[in-house]
Amino acid sequence: MKTVVLKFGGTSVGSTDRIKKICKIIASYKHKRNRVIVISSAMSGVTNDLINKSKLMSNNFDKAEYDTLVSSGEQAACALIAGRLNHIGIQSRSWMAWQLPIITEGPHSGSRINKINVKELVRYLSSGGIPIVTGFQGINKNFRLTTIGRSGSDATAIMLAKFINADECIIYTDVDGVYTTDPRQYKNAKKIKKIFYDEMLEMASLGSKVMQPTSVQDAKLNNIDIQVKSSFVSKSGTLITGKKKSFSDQIITGISSTKNDAKITIVAVKDRPGVAASIFKPLSQNLINVDMVVQNMSLNGKETDLTFTIKSEDLKKTEKLIKNNKKIIYKKLSFDKDVSKVSIIGVGMITTPGITYRMFQALASKKINIQVISTSEIKISVLVSSKNVKKAVAVLHKEFKLD
């Protein structure tokens, strides 16, 4: 008998009608003689509503109470699912994180799961019941509720699959899998049948909303295969795995793009050891994430131009931090909010020469200028004008035969 972990996202449980529908999906696994464990997010919109309520109470809401508040949405969803399953004749009950417990470590709103006590779950599964477990939450060493960050229910499902030694972990969401690029941006995007952890990590970190990077990382570290499927349509999904068997010889797996990048250039910085650290330290202390970085030395070796990208919402804060930074001397500061990052991702590029040339040549054929470049073993990212993003995605999709 297989043990299957099913996770349902907020849109999948977004209304009572949708909860009734996902209960039919759960029942179908039970009827196939599987042992079934369900993880649920809060109903869509509930967590945001609770966050807004906390802001009305205080602009510095206590962090521990914040986690207690925002984790209550999952409790309601799990009770509704269990109630419906019992109504249709399937033994079920809800489990809060503290009842297992799910032990976490780290700060409130950003904890990580350390251990899950599955003894009672196993006993309940053996009796034929279906446990419905709250995602997104756990308890710390002080017995306070903690949350794992937005989309943390995926991490709950993956870690529960690890501790219970499940045969399958299936993430049900509002899309029917991972696509080669955003299908809303490019109509010829294709669903990917199988994708490596590292490729999915890159796509998630570059803006793919299907999975959070931390959840994919948890799956990779614990060697848990994940199926991503839709709770709205009965179609095959995408397998996220580390297994190399039966993979195609596709060089590039997917293309990602961003919408909210900004480029900053500090012109003619007086060059000396530690100058880059002096620039980026205040940004780090203010939780501003720096992405692409390019440094160009002057011919005399005494000055350098430093260009880097950040999220556009951090632009004003970054400008203020640089202007107030007395440790650096420069001639000019320039900003550009109308930029976007376009990336190609694929493990196939490790062993295939000429990928960089093909990417740059394809963009040049559409007169798309590249402003900044960054690379890794399985990714090449370029910064382009935001007006050229759709054109860039389309030409790269065709160049690497993803259409």
What span, in angstroms and rounded, lies between the C-alpha atoms of 362 and 286? 38
**Mean pLDDT of the 197-206 span:** 87
Structure tokens at 129: 């019941």
User: By the 8 A CB rule, do 250 and 346 touch?
Assistant: yes
Residue 350 is predicted with a pLDDT of: 84
User: By the 8 A CB rule, do 172 and 12 touch?
Assistant: yes
Q: Which residue has the higher pLDDT, 218 or 80?
A: 80
Distances 90 to 28, 93, 249 between C-alpha atoms, Å: 11, 10, 44
User: By the 8 A CB rule, do 114 and 104 touch?
Assistant: yes
pLDDT tens-digit profile of 355-389? 999 999 999 999 999 999 999 889 999 999 999 99
Lowest-confidence range among 65-74, 123-132, 296-305?
296-305
Residue 245 is predicted with a pLDDT of: 57
Asked if the model's pLDDT at residue 291 lies above 60, the reply is yes
Q: What mean pLDDT, rounded, does the chain reach?
A: 92
HSE-up (13 A, CA, CB side) for residue 382: 22
Asked if the model's pLDDT at residue 242 lies above 90, the reply is no
Q: Which residue has the higher pLDDT, 379 or 149?
A: 379
| Helices 275-285 and 315-323, axial angle in degrees (round to 10) | 130
pLDDT tens-digit profile of 250-289? 789 999 998 889 999 999 988 888 888 999 999 999 989 9
Percent of the chain with pLDDT over 90: 76
Structure tokens at 344: 């190609």
Asked if the model's pLDDT at residue 154 lies above 90, the reply is yes
Asked if the model's pLDDT at residue 222 lies above 60, the reply is yes
Phi and psi at residue 79, to the nearest 5°: -65, -40
Structure tokens at 334: 């320039």
Distances 208 to 18, 110, 345, 353 between C-alpha atoms, Å: 24, 20, 12, 26
pLDDT band at 213 (very low <50, low <70, confident <90, very high): confident
Instruction: Quickly list H helices, 294-388.
Output: 315-323, 355-365
263 beta partners: 309, 336
CB neighbour class for 340 (10 Å; exposed up to 12, middle 13-18, buried from 19): buried
pLDDT tens-digit profile of 320-350? 999 999 889 899 999 999 999 999 999 888 8
**Mean pLDDT of the 67-82 span:** 97
Residue 7 is predicted with a pLDDT of: 97
Question: Is the CATH code 3.30.300.30 the one for domain 3-174?
Answer: no
Q: 136-140, 265-269, 299-303: which has the highest mean pLDDT?
A: 136-140
